[in-house]
Amino acid sequence: MSTISDPGNAGFRIGMLLSDTRYRSYTFQFIALILLIVGISYLVNNLLANLNELGLNISWAFLQEPAGYDINQRPIQYDSQSTHARASMVGAINTLIVAFLACVTATIFGVIAGVLRLSNNWIVARLMSAYVEAFRNVPVLIWILIIFLAMSNAFPQPRAFRGDNATSSMWLDSVAFTNRGIYIPSFVNEGWQATVFWLVVLASIVGMFAYRRYAKKLLYDTGRLLPMGWPSLAILFVPGLIVYFLLGQPVGLERPELKGFNFQGGVHMRLSLIALWFALAIYTGAFIAENVRAGIQAISKGQTEAAASLGLRPGWIMNLVILPQALRVIIPPLISQYLNITKNSSLAIAVGYMDITGTLGGITLNQTGRAIEAILLLMLFYLIVSLSISAIMNVYNNSVKLKER
Amino acid sequence: MSDVSFVRKDFLEPQDPPARERGAIKWVRENLFNGWLNSILTLLAIYFIYKIVSGAWPWFANGVWNTNNLSECREILDGATGACFSVLQDRWSQMLFGISYPSDGFWRPTLAFVLLFAAAAPVLFSTLPRKLLIASALYPFLAYWLIWGGTIMISIMALVGFAAGYYAFSYMERARGFAAGLAAGVAAAFVVWYLGGFVSGAMPGFIALPEVASRDMGGFMLNMILGTICVSLSLPLGIVLALGRQSDMPIIKGICVVFIEFVRGVPLITLLFVANVVLAYFFPPGTSLDLILRVIIMITMFSSAYIAEVIRGGLAALPRGQYEAADSLGLDYAQATRLIIMPQALKISIPGIVNVAVGLFKDTTLVSVISMFDLVGAIRGPIASSTDWTGIYWEVFGFAALLFFVICYGISQYSQWLERQLATDHR
Amino acid sequence: MADAQTNVDPSAMKVSDEVAITIDGMNKWYGSFHVLRDINLTVQRGERIVICGPSGSGKSTLIRCINALEEHQAGSITVDGTLLSSDLKNIDTIRSEVGMCFQHFNLFPHLTILENCTLAPIWVRKTPKKEAEATAMHFLEKVKIPDQANKYPGQLSGGQQQRVAIARSLCMKPRIMLFDEPTSALDPEMIAEVLDTMIELAQEGMTMLCVTHEMGFARKVANRVIFMDAGQIVEQNEPEAFFTNPQSDRTKLFLSQILGH
């Protein structure tokens, strides 16, 4: 073998910074970096000059000061003497609550509408198209406001439930729709028995999946096919019911009751929560429906025909051939819709739902005047949530990619 | 062997299918009532439609169109279901143009709105003569003059600056390459703008319309202004970001990735808060940008990140062979990108870009949260809080929803048409 | 000019003493994979070289290194006296001297045939548009599709597209042409028209390096056949000797597989 030498190994000239492929990209990156640093320092310089002129500074001390305002939905301990940091935390949890509820509901709406839109039932398919188009093409803010205003005008006042000739009555004696919100029953847990009951319920859910896994393994190993449908249902419900009655019904329902001018007991869901939840769910559901439809249509008809020609039954075709492929197409856009829900939940401020935009970015910001700090924290919160969701999506994408090879 | 042989002598005429396979009955049977599940769904759907129509129709049909306030309207209705559309008649100018746009100038934004369609047509439909694109290029300057008023010289000088920049760019690019062309173009444009400032300053009355301040913009007009300006501005920015993200230089790629992911990770509202209360801190002390300009800056940043991601998808979809062919012909990076890569990548990305544009247009309603009086802001502010119309919501929000629906649905139908067009175009 | 389909006498095409390409001790790695091992090759002006070998033998990579589509890590490549280094100017010079045709044509689908052909002359050579169009029409006539000039590549058949790709390269007036499996993506009935064009080109004295498995073409046109395997040049010879009397076992095996049926 002849001597291996670097190609074109000539001496360095200054012109080579631009003309030589080895140095050119370093030159450009260096210039970009310098421009970035100059740009940022210009902005920071302006910021400091402005703050100086106004006699302001950057300080995070306000987070430890008492907030002094009330929050109407408090998932954790909070009162007006709590700190701004605590208020922001309450807001953050409220954001996550409404985002989670909306994600679940939007998925349900979206999957139903997406599947029905492909149905060969003409009228149902048209209805679903109308739903998708109507909601996709109107700003979500308008939907939030319409739903909020419609509910607060259409639902009766709590006092309408009172007296012998009440104009309104509770639904199944346990759910009350009022213009102050919706009251639903809550669980009342009694002692250790309740804990045992919930553990059994949890175990049954795990047990059902374990059974299905076992049945699959048995099929692969021995070729014996166990029934799937009714045993799963039995495992899911029977143990829980048995324990429930054996332990003397340890878990009860607390129904909301009208006391004075308002309902007491149960869970009170404010209209702001319901409107935001429902609007986000139905709006995003329209987008998810399109993703689902595209996902199912992406699986060619040939796949169904190939599976059928192998003798698979329709149910098996769906589970073994269509769904695994369709999910691969559907899930990435689905997760980015979840991201959109989380970001759109910041519109809570329009209906007075106290999410983090309402607390940290709203009242706290206005009371303390710490605009830069508050908005920075606010962005950081959303950024962390978004990046976590994206990270989950990347893990999923990679796992799907591996299966392809 | 002979009993296998067969030759047809009398050919069969086609016959009608059996009665149950024909006409409306067949259609109904196949499309609405095949199987019990479908029958239930059909009945449910029919019931649902009935409920909607029977609820909405009296409300619509009994609508009252000419009263001055809500209580008069309620009196006329006298307890019956009915809409008070008179609010639309009473407050249409606030919903369309905001609260402070001078009423004798309403024709100006209206004309600009109509011309927008004429200007957009050559861009949207490639079958129209290409020369019309010149008219589209003139539109922004004309629209600015119509809406903001002042002397037409401002628009003309801005246009002359762009033209000078373009000619300097194309001349220098042929001679000295892309970077030199860009520098020359920017320099020429700024020189012309600087000089043009004196010219337009010297003749303020030359074909002038009464000036309207930015803070007086409002109503649906504000949504349209924000939507069109921000989409047009974010397109070039998005292209640059997408190219940066696809670059193999780690620092440039890193800067673009951080920007894109940051902007995509936060809600638009937080960026609007920045525009409202923070952005002013980042400009030299003493400069005052009006709110609408700050909002345009932030929304443009926002949508450019999304457009960049769409275009990146288009770039990734191009086969490597295109880059290699450009290289082997001796085209440099700027030439290959401008002549070969971008035209194709943009064509693939059009549906995605249109989706971003529709989304952005809808998101312009968010400016109502930072107390700008766009369509939603005008409804929630001056209309809903006026003593005349307190408590009205279906009529006004329904009208707003309808306006947005017409435009967004139109655009998305266009996008689908274009997608079909491209699908047949491509081989 | 002789009819391309029938007799071509390779010896009638002259080979000058001038050197067109020198490759000296060239090595290339993809990561840690050694794709090209110590390649030494000298091409005279006017030579028609056919490179063959099993897939993955590095033959495409070799010719892609010559116009810097791939970077080599060791050794030197000199094209027409220009040393291929990391200097952009040298790369540009070499790329405008060397034309290339790809397996998948790589025409620009958004430009018409004529625009495909005039693009590089206008932007790289700074030829006035009128002149570039005249040149383009000249070469399109040469590849026998002047009437398609205003169509788009998608409207043409594969064979026509490849002929346009050849014309597009010729418009840059290259002194050397590289062909990277120009017929392997074509339907059988279209291969002949592309080969005819290439033969005509050879008769005009173009220096050609051609990666192909068209052995008929090699016999007819080439004055040298190179067989590559595992990133190295295993055997090279005049076509007649190469096909009738291969020396290396690997060559024999390869020829038996490719000519076997």
Instruction: Give dist(CA C34, CA C27) in Å, integer.
Output: 8
pLDDT value of position C2 = 35
Does the pLDDT of residue C245 top 80, yes or no?
A: yes
Which token pair is A269? 């869901």
pLDDT the model gives residue A4 = 45
What distance in Å separates the CA atoms of residue A70 and residue A79, rounded to the nearest whole number?
6
Strand order in the sheet with A267-269: A176-178, A181-184, A267-269
Selection from B312, B427, B393, B296 nearest residue B84 by Cα? B393
Of the pLDDT bands very low, low, confident and very high (cuts 50, 70, 90), residue C205 is: confident
Does the structure show a pLDDT above 60 at A10? no
**A394 CB within 8 Å of a chain B CB:** no
Instruction: Measure the CA dihedral A132/A136/A141/A144, to 10°.
Output: 10
State in Å, rounded, how far the first CA of chain C is from the last one.
33
A7 touches chain C (CB under 8 A): yes
Q: Judge: C25–A5 Cβ closer than 8 Å, yes or no.
A: yes
The three-class DSSP label of residue C25 is: strand
Residues 19-48 on A with a CB inside 8 Å of C are 19-22, 24
Position of tokens 């071509």? C8
CB-defined contacts A:C, below 8 A:
50
Compare CB distances from B274 to A36, A141, A375 and report the shortest one's residue: A375
Check whether C139 has a pLDDT greater than 80. yes
* B149 Ramachandran zone, left/alpha/beta (phi>0; psi -120 to 50): left
> C106 and B324 in contact by Cβ < 8 A?
yes
Closest CA to B329 of C32, A113, C174: C174
Q: Rounded to an integer, what distance in angstroms lies between the CA atom of residue C39 and that of residue C19?
A: 17
Nearest to B400 among A142, A365, A372 (CB): A142
- Optimal mutation site among C82, C97, C103, C108, interface B, most CBs of chain B within 10 A: C108
pLDDT of residue A113: 92
Closest residue in chain B to residue C165, using alpha carbons only: B325
Contact A216, A170 (CB under 8 A): no
The pLDDT score that the predictor gives to residue C16 is 75
Predicted confidence at residue A397, as pLDDT, reads 77
What is the average per-residue pLDDT within C106-111? 89
Q: Under an 8 A CB cutoff, do B376 and A133 touch?
A: no
Residue B201, CA distances (Å) to B58, B155, B158, B160, B198 in order: 59, 12, 13, 16, 5
In whole angstroms, what is the distance from residue B334 CA to residue C88 CA?
14
| Mean pLDDT comparison of A49-53, A147-151, A376-380, B83-87, highest-scoring range | A376-380
Phi-psi region of A130 (alpha: psi -120 to 50; beta: other; left: phi over 0): alpha
B277 to A347: CB separation less than 8 angstroms, yes or no: no
Q: Which of B302, B322, B297 is nearest to B241 (CA)?
A: B302
Q: What string of pLDDT tens digits covers the 427 residues of chain B?
A: 557 788 888 888 887 777 666 677 777 777 777 777 788 888 888 999 999 898 888 888 888 888 888 888 888 887 777 888 888 888 888 888 888 888 888 888 888 888 888 888 888 787 777 788 888 888 888 888 888 888 888 888 888 888 889 888 888 887 777 788 888 888 988 888 888 888 777 777 778 788 888 888 888 999 999 999 999 999 999 999 999 999 888 999 999 999 999 999 999 999 999 998 888 888 888 777 888 899 999 999 999 999 999 999 999 989 889 999 999 998 888 889 989 999 889 888 888 898 999 999 999 999 998 888 889 998 888 888 888 888 788 888 999 999 999 999 999 888 888 878 776 554 4
> Cβ contact (<8 Å) for A141 and B366?
yes
Please check whether residue A139 touches B, CB under 8 A: yes
Least confident of A337-341, A397-401, B417-421: A397-401
- Ranked by mean pLDDT, the top range of A225-234, A251-260, B179-188, B305-314 is B305-314
pLDDT over threshold 70, residue C73? yes
Q: How confident is residue A401, by pLDDT bands cut at 50, 70 and 90?
A: low
pLDDT at C12: 55
C67: chain B residues, CB-CB within 8 Å: 327-328
Q: Under an 8 A CB cutoff, do C89 and A19 touch?
A: yes
Question: Cα(B82)–Cα(B58) distance, rounded to whole angstroms?
Answer: 6
pLDDT at position A209 is 86
Strand partners, B219: B374
The lowest-confidence range among A65-74, A88-97, A111-120, C110-119 is A65-74
pLDDT at C9: 56
Nearest to C110 among B321, B335, B344 (CB): B344
B-chain residues near C169 (CB < 8 A): 328-329
Distance CA(A278)–CA(A272), nearest Å, equals 10
* Angstroms from A325 CA to nearest CA on chain B: 21
Residue C74: per-residue pLDDT: 87
Task: Report whether pLDDT(A331) > 70.
Answer: yes
Binding-face residues of A in 117-136 toward B, CB within 8 A: 119-124, 127, 133-134, 136
Rounded CA-CA distance B336/B329 in Å is 10
Chains in contact with C, where contact requires at least 3 CB pairs less than 8 Å apart: A, B
Rounded-to-integer distance, Cα B378 and Cα B382, Å: 6
Q: Least CA distance to B175: which residue of chain C?
A: C126
The pair of three-digit structure tokens given for residue A218, joined into one six-digit string:
């048995």
Burial class (CB in 10 A: 0-12, 13-18, 19+), B2: exposed
Round to whole Å and give the CA distance between C164 and C112. Answer: 11
Closest-CA residue of chain A to C87: A20
Cβ neighbours, 10 Å, residue B416: 12
| pLDDT at residue A177, as a whole number | 82
How many Å apart are CA A326 and CA A298, to the nearest integer?
7
SS (H, E, C) chain B: CCCCCCCCCCCCCCCCCCHHHCHHHHHHHHHCCCCHHHHHHHHHHHHHHHHHHHHHHHHHHCCECCCCCHHHHHHHHCCCCCCECHHHHHHHHHHHHCCCCCHHHCHHHHHHHHHHHHHHHHHHCCCCCHHHHHHHHHHHHHHHHHHHCEEHHHHHHHHHHHHHHHHHHHHHHHHHCHHHHHHHHHHHHHHHHHHHHHHHHHCCCCCEECCCCHHHCCHHHHHHHHHHHHHHHHHHHHHHHHHHHHCCCHHHHHHHHHHHHHHHHCCHHHHHHHHHHHHHHHCCCCCCCCHHHHHHHHHHHHHHHHHHHHHHHHHHHCCHHHHHHHHHCCCCHHHHHHHHHHHHHHHHHHHHHHHHHHHHHHHHHHHHHHCCCEHHHHHHHHHCCCCCCCCCCHHHHHHHHHHHHHHHHHHHHHHHHHHHHHHHHCC
Residue-wise pLDDT tens digits, B133-184? 888 888 888 888 888 888 888 888 888 888 889 888 888 887 777 788 888 8
Contact B330 C172 (CB under 8 A): yes
Q: Identify residues of C whose CB sits under 8 angstroms from chain A CBs.
A: 24-25, 27, 37-38, 40, 72-77, 83-91
Tokens in use for A321?
């051939």
Bridge-based pairing state of the strands A267-269 and B150-151: unpaired
Asked if A10 has any chain C CB less than 8 Å from its own CB, the reply is: yes
Q: Give the minimum alpha-carbon distance from C94 to chain A in angstroms, rounded to a whole number.
A: 14
Q: What is the predicted pLDDT for the residue at B260? A: 94
Mutate to test the interface with B, among C60, C98, C123 (most CBs of B within 10 A): C123
Q: What is the pTM of this model?
A: 0.86
- What DSSP letter does each residue of A239-297 carry, written as one string? HHHHHHHHTT--EEEEPPEEETTEEESSEEE-HHHHHHHHHHHHHHHHHHHHHHHHHHH
Whether B238 contacts B307, CB under 8 Å: yes
Other chains touching B, judged by 3 or more CB pairs under 8 Å: A, C
Rounded to the nearest integer, the mean pLDDT of chain A is: 83
Q: So what's the pLDDT on residue C11?
A: 53
- Tokens, residue B293: 């300009």
A3 touches chain C (CB under 8 A): yes
Q: What is the mean pLDDT of residues A259-281?
A: 84
Element spanning C157, H or E = none
A17 touches C at CB < 8 Å: no
Chain-centre distance for alpha carbon C40: 18
Inter-CA distances, A182 with A153, A185, A261, B261, C30, Å: 14, 10, 15, 38, 65
Return the residue matching tokens 């796992």: A399
Whether A21 sits inside 8 A of C88 (CB atoms) is yes
C17–chain A nearest CA distance, Å:
25
Q: Which of residues 258-297 of A touch B (CB under 8 A)?
A: none
A266: region left, alpha or beta (phi > 0 left; psi from -120 to 50 alpha): left
Q: In A, which residues are within 8 Å of C41 by CB distance?
A: none
B residues 277..296 contacting C (CB < 8 A): none
Strands A181-184 and C82-83: unpaired
Task: Tell which residue, C250, C251, C220, has the closest CA to residue C2.
Answer: C220
* B346: contact with C, CB 8 A cutoff: no
The model's confidence at residue A165, banded by pLDDT at 50, 70 and 90, is: low
CA distance from start to end of chain B = 51
**With 0-12 CB in 10 A as exposed, 13-18 as middle and 19+ as buried, what is B77?**
middle
Chain B residues within an 8 Å CB radius of C96: 330
Kindly tell me if the per-residue pLDDT of A3 is higher than 50: no
CB C70 within 8 Å of CB C126:
no
pLDDT of residue B78: 79
Mean pLDDT across A182-191: 79
> Is pLDDT above 60 for C3?
no
* Closest-approach residue (CA) in chain C for A6: C74
The one-letter amino acid at A224: R
User: Is residue B179 within 8 angstroms of chain C, CB to CB?
Assistant: no
In this complex, the residue of A134, A137, A387 whose CB is nearest that of residue B412 is A137
Residue numbers in A near C91 (CB within 8 A): 21
- pLDDT over 90 at A262, yes or no: no
Question: Using CB atoms and an 8 Å cut-off, which of residues 23-62 of chain A contact chain B?
Answer: 25, 28-29, 32-33, 36, 43, 46-47, 49-51, 53
Question: What digits encode the pLDDT tens for the residues C82-94?
Answer: 888 888 888 888 8
C74: distance to nearest CA of chain A, Å? 5
Residues of chain B neighbouring C172 (CB-CB closer than 8 A): 329-330
Higher pLDDT, A9 or A178: A178
Which of A29, A123, A343 shows the shortest C-beta gap to B32? A123
CA of C10 vs chain B CAs: smallest distance (Å) = 28
B73 touches chain C (CB under 8 A): no
The Cα of B42 is separated from the nearest Cα of chain A by a number of Å equal to: 6
Interface test with chain A among B247, B259, B263, B270, by most A beta carbons within 10 Å: B270
What is the rounded CA–CA span in Å between residue B178 and residue B169? 8
Separation of alpha carbons B218 and B225, rounded Å: 9
Position with higher pLDDT, C261 vs B247: B247
Q: Report the candidate in B42, B72, B374 with the shortest Cα–Cα distance to residue B217.
A: B374
